[in-house]
Structure 1
Amino acid sequence: MADQFFSKYPYATILLNLSFIFLVSCLLTAHFWTDPNPTSDHYKTADTETGCKGIQMLEIRQEKCSYVKSHEGCKTRGYIPYLHLFYCTFSPVLGYVSLSLWLILLFYLLADTASNYFCHSLVGLSKILKLSPTAAGISLLSLGNGAPDVFASIISFTGEGTADIGLNSVLGGAFFVSCVVTGIIGVSVGNDGARISRRGFTIHVGVLLLSLACLILIIAVGELSLCAALSFLSLYFIYALLVFACSEEKENENGLQDVEAPLCCYIDNEGHDGDDTAGRLPKDGKNGGVVSKILCILELPLYVPRRLTIPLVSEDKWSKPFAVSSVTLAPIALVLTWNSNSTKLRALEIGGSVGIVCGILAFRTIQSSNPPRKCIIFWLAEGFIMSVTWAYILAQELISLLVSLGYILGIDESLLGLTVLAWGNSVGDLVANVTMAQKGGTEGAQIAVSGSYAGPIFNTVVGLGLSLSFSAWSNYPASYALFVDQSVFVTVGFFMVGLIWAFVMLTKRKMVVDKYLGSGLLVIYLCFLSLQIARLLGLVEILVPNL
């Protein structure tokens, strides 16, 4: 996961924070030295065009700037006006550099929020609820591991004309993990003779194939009722029941548990999960030199805003000042994020009052040395809610940036979701699963391969299931019309080919994870990627007949 990588390479975190400072400086400079939103009537038209695709027909940069200022479809859905900054404020070089850096930062922040905050709250809740490892793995911890994909999918489906991004990002990420990550695992441990559970693997592949078949049917029909959406979501309950049934078996024919819980959120036995910048700062201030102090300070810009609103309830991360600030600022942050503009002022007054009262109570009742023993579920619930809020904000900004990049680069945003967004959200799975397979022996290979299929099941069924359910609910009692790029059939087709290849090769080779399995999966993904690149370059056109 992201926290493992950045704990291993702390200077990468510092580089990201410096990039953030650079971007804020550019934004402030642009705000004070340029007119942020001058009016222009040059391109105001009465057309019915949705989005901002008309900008691709213009050649001169000033014309594009005027178009962005005047066209309603060019307004960003997030907090930052990317198209206005790129065409009207920044130079082309600075624009590309800034948007690229911000894209990397958003990926990092979304993954880090899920790993260090969201997952932390889920682990605490699983302990309070006394869930078994299997139950926690297929419910709370799978949600923590798949949070970036799930939130990005939900945000994209709630936007106008962006459902393609969410659908392709989830399918692209699931395909990448099950095909590329499993392929690399096969190539890297091919000489070790590691075997995996036949029963568990059959469950993974069977549920994935069933969910993809149902998804093809949904897309082919083109509309979805609330009942159908909930039925698709219920496939995960079927998967959970199968996992529980298999987990009752002590050992399979290989002496391993049939299904390993996909515990990809890294939290060790002592609870030291991820980075603790605030904790290191006073420690380095006492024992380190000037360089250590400077390095710790440079890590604060991306750390402090989330830490001020999300409580971390553990012995090593507990901080009374941060705890008080979190209960004080959380109601205000919730109002600013979730409330509509029409009632925001009144709600902000109420939220501020509630926050002040909660802050005073927390200051007078909690201790500085250790987290509270009573009402700990309140702090865990707050951490869960605020982690969801931060993930929502970051996912919304990420989708908004990808849409803007699609207009700037002249690339269909669904293709960006299938590649850039999918790859970015899958890097953690790649690092964690491959490392587990290489260093964990036979058991490590079992867990890594199980995680490479259990994660895609959760993201596909729950991520898309929730997105479709929310969309169908908003249109109830009418059906939700689902209009997506027909090339999604190609993605699903290659995905199913990869699953069938893995099942056939493992069955034929007595469930041994080897280079034949891995190389075949990598070739399948390379063929798929080559076809998508050819489509992008206009060399081929994908035509899918009406079903």
Structure 2
Amino acid sequence: MTAPYHDSDTGCRQLHEYSDREAKCSYVKSHTGCQNGGYISYLQLFYCNFDPVLGYSALILWLLVLFYLLGNTAANYFCCSLEGLSRILKLSPNIAGVTLLSLGNGAPDLFASIVSFMGDETEKVGLNSILGGAFFVSSIVVGIISISVCHSRPSIERSSFIWDVTFFLLSLACLLVIIMLGKINLWGAISFFSLYFIYVLFISTSHLCHRKEGVGDDRAASGSPILPVTKNFLEYQTEGLCEVEEPLLGFVGDDKPISMEKSGLVQVGDDRKRRRRCLDLQPSTSSHLFVCRLLFFLELPLYLPRRLTIPVITAERWSKPFAVVSVTIAPVLVAVVWNSHGSKPSWLVYLIGASVGTISGVVAFFTTERSNPPTKWLFPWHAGGFLMSITWTYIAADELISLLVSLGLILGISPSILGLTVLAWGNSLGDLVSNVTMALNGGAEGAQVALSGCYAGPIFNTLIGLGLPLAFSAWSEYPASYIIPKDNSDYETLGFLMGGLLWALVILPKRNMVLDRCLGGGLVAIYLCFLSLRIARALVPN
């Protein structure tokens, strides 16, 4: 069966009308609606270049790589730039926590949502990924934390918990009204994401009140639910995130790092600051060293392009060659990304990018030292790192959304289901691991911090992660309103999500604010019921 030529049709809905792969290949090549954005044509690769087994394996592997790029870029580059900007702007810890830290933690969700709203027929992916992630974190993660620490019976601070959950419910209620109206104008979108600044204002005011009352210990200051998170981030995460210098995961001998100086990849400096552990092993055998080097070379293709384009000036990761090269290439990469989303590439953009890169590289070469990072004009360096981290996060998110839409077409599953599950789970794995670990190892304060993070993060993702894309979309339609694609399943998702929050809001105060199996089991059961219902509906043919 030969695939007809449909150049002007929208979507790729007729793909499964053809039985053999050659017809599907012809249809994908000739149908512009099957090009789902991004830089790679996944449908063409799957149907025209790979057999089914190799195609599925390659797409799943690439999906994992993109999730890794999103999370690793946010952790190793984005957060470090935010920390530098926080110090330069002299932000207080609580303001940095509810703004920069939340932005760093929510970067993958935020950019995936923005990219999805910019594409054709992919808005549902972004909306479902945000709601799915919020539901997963506020139910599964909170449920696992409650069940895991129930033996120690930690108590949660009542006022901050009630404020977090109540404000989260208010945010979801506003979103429900927007979805019911089916449209939103620019001012409505701005008002929606501005709710987050009310949240920030309340936390800042709460913190100031605690200080005026003379409350000095961290436990009492936890009335601001994000403060302990900020404290842990600023004091400890810098060692785990911002001191990463190369993808080699290893030691050689007694606490002496494997030197990559001869290869030109890093400069050897203070051994104490440049330590890296290979899976917490001290390799004394050739097999351990082989594993470390293998991990290095496997990660190198993902590490090197970002290291060569994202300026990093932390003392532990400073390298003048990398710094000069990164500020030279970075503007060119921005120009390439800018032109890739235009209808016609502009050589003027390339020329501007090359000129800015050349000038920046020359200035960096003559104003920096080989042994120490710069101590002056730090704002342009951190701002450049921030911008390039955003660029790489955008590239990874763009590809991730394109891949999920393509997988939905290949599997015959709605992309919104993949956004609700695969994308939401992938972006929430970090919350699951970090919050559960903090609750298990941090005692009563750790449980307080972990639970606060389980609500502060979804609040940011809901208001900013959806508010900004809605504002951008409404801006493009101004003065008309932006029409939100109808999807009746959104009501179902919001209903279950709000039900889980109400369950926690009722049960936890009744249990004297003690985390136990009743709270955790109920939240997990609510999420599993919702997930089973959505999957069953997706599998049943219409």
State the TM-score, normalizing by the size of structure 2: 0.88
Residue 22 of structure 2 aligns to which amino acid in structure 1?
Q
Q: Which moved more, 1:163-172 or 1:194-203?
A: 194-203
2:246 paired residue number: 277
2:334 paired residue number: 334
Residue 422 of structure 1 aligns to which amino acid in structure 2?
A
Matched, 1:178 2:178: no
Matched, 1:244 2:218: no
Give the 5 Å matches for 1:355-504. 355-504=357-506
Q: Deviations over 1:140-190 (max 9, x none)?
A: 110000000000001001111110000000000011001100000000001
Residue 67 of structure 1 aligns to which amino acid in structure 2?
Y
Q: Which moved more, 1:367-376 or 1:350-359?
A: 350-359
Note closer, same or farther for the CA distance 1:360–1:255 as it changes in structure 2 (3 Å cut). closer
- For the aligned residue pairs, the C-alpha RMSD in angstroms reads 2.3
The 1-side partners of 2:235 and 2:299 are apart by 23
The 2-side partners of 1:265 and 1:189 are apart by 20
Q: Which moved more, 1:390-399 or 1:507-516?
A: 507-516
The 1-side partners of 2:415 and 2:293 are apart by 42
Q: C-alpha displacement at 1:264, in angstroms?
A: 9.7
Give the 5 Å matches for 1:34-433. 42-45=3-6, 48=9, 50-247=10-207, 248-249=209-210, 250=215, 255=220, 257-261=222-226, 262-263=229-230, 268=235, 271-274=238-241, 275-277=244-246, 283-285=257-259, 291=290, 292-339=292-339, 340=342, 342-433=344-435
State the TM-score, normalizing by the size of structure 1: 0.87
Q: Deviations over 1:459-511 (max 9, x none)?
A: 00110000100000010000001113110100000000000000101111111
The 2-side partners of 1:501 and 1:145 are apart by 26
Q: C-alpha displacement at 1:354, in angstroms?
A: 1.9
Does the 8 A contact of 1:141 with 1:264 survive in 2? no
SS in 2 for 1:477: coil
Q: Deviations over 1:366-405 (max 9, x none)?
A: 0111110000111000000000000111100000000000
The 2-side partners of 1:265 and 1:195 are apart by 20
Q: Deviations over 1:429-488 (max 9, x none)?
A: 000000000000000000000000000000001100001000000100000011131101
Q: C-alpha displacement at 1:215, in angstroms?
A: 0.8
Residue 309 of structure 2 aligns to which amino acid in structure 1?
T
The 2-side partners of 1:378 and 1:135 are apart by 22
The 2-side partners of 1:374 and 1:433 are apart by 37
Q: C-alpha displacement at 1:203, in angstroms?
A: 1.3
The 1-side partners of 2:474 and 2:361 are apart by 39
The 1-side partners of 2:249 and 2:124 are apart by 43
Residue 130 of structure 1 aligns to which amino acid in structure 2?
K
Note closer, same or farther for the CA distance 1:265–1:145 as it changes in structure 2 (3 Å cut). farther
Does the 8 A contact of 1:158 with 1:471 survive in 2? yes
Q: C-alpha displacement at 1:260, in angstroms?
A: 2.8
Does the 8 A contact of 1:183 with 1:518 survive in 2? yes
Does the 8 A contact of 1:119 with 1:265 survive in 2? no
The 2-side partners of 1:280 and 1:535 are apart by 44
The 1-side partners of 2:61 and 2:7 are apart by 36
The 1-side partners of 2:136 and 2:89 are apart by 33
Note closer, same or farther for the CA distance 1:329–1:130 as it changes in structure 2 (3 Å cut). same
Note closer, same or farther for the CA distance 1:416–1:270 as it changes in structure 2 (3 Å cut). closer
Residue 310 of structure 2 aligns to which amino acid in structure 1?
I
Note closer, same or farther for the CA distance 1:238–1:140 as it changes in structure 2 (3 Å cut). same
Note closer, same or farther for the CA distance 1:270–1:510 as it changes in structure 2 (3 Å cut). closer
2:531 paired residue number: 529
Does the 8 A contact of 1:226 with 1:479 survive in 2? yes
Residue 4 of structure 2 aligns to which amino acid in structure 1?
Y
Q: Which moved more, 1:309-318 or 1:276-285?
A: 276-285
Mind listing any 5+ residue stretches in structure 1 that lack a counterpart?
A: 1-39, 542-547
Does the 8 A contact of 1:200 with 1:246 survive in 2? no
